[in-house]
Amino acid sequence: MADPDFSQFKLVPKGHSFEEFHQGQVFEHHWGRTINAGDNSLFTTATLAHCPLYFNAEYARAHGHPDVVVNPMLVVCTVVGISVEDLSEAGGPFLGINGLEFHRPVYPGDTLTARSTVVSTRESASRGNFGIVTWRTEARNQRDELVISYERTNLVAKRRGAAS
C-alpha cells in the first residue's frame, strides 16, 4: 500500500484568533462531560493524591458525602478541557488561572457543562503577533448547581500578518 498523499487533505483551522474575542462575549461550551468513578480513581492514583475522600467511599460517607468526592484537580482539568475548543485551540501559551473557587463537591456520575465570558483583551507588549485574553469560566452540574469558577489567561495568536 502506498503512503498517503497528505497534500490531498484539507487543513481545517481550529480555534479563534485574538481579533475574534471581545469583552463580554459568551461561549456556551458544547457537550459537557460526565465524570465517572474510573476517571476519578485513575486521576487520583496517577497524581498520588492520598486524600481518602477521593478513593474511600466509607470514609467519604463518614464525613457527610454520599459517595467519594471527585478529585478537585480532575474537575479543573475537565472544565479547562471542555473550554479549549472555543477559547484556546488555535494555540498560544497558557498564562495561568486566577480566582479559582470550588463551590460544591462533584461526585462520580455528575455531568459538568461550562460557559466562559471574555473578561478582557489587550495587545501583548512583548509579542507583536499575540494578544492577551482573559476569560471567566463557570461550570455547573446536571442540577444546574455552580461547582467551579475561575479566570484563565492565554496569549492568543493574531491573524497572520496582524502584528503591530
pLDDT digit string, tens, across residues 22-56: 999 999 998 899 999 999 999 999 999 999 999 99
Q: Where along the chain do its domains lie?
A: 17-157
22 closest CA partner among 139, 119, 149, 131? 119
Q: For the whole model, what pTM was predicted?
A: 0.88
Do residues 133 and 121 lie in contact, with contact meaning Cβ atoms separated by under 8 Å? Answer: yes
The tens digit of pLDDT for each residue in 103-152 reads: 999 999 999 999 999 999 999 999 989 999 999 999 999 999 999 999 99
Q: Which fold has domain 17-157?
A: Thiol Ester Dehydrase; Chain A (3.10.129)
Q: What share of the chain is helix, strand, coil (3-state, %, to 5)?
A: 25, 30, 45
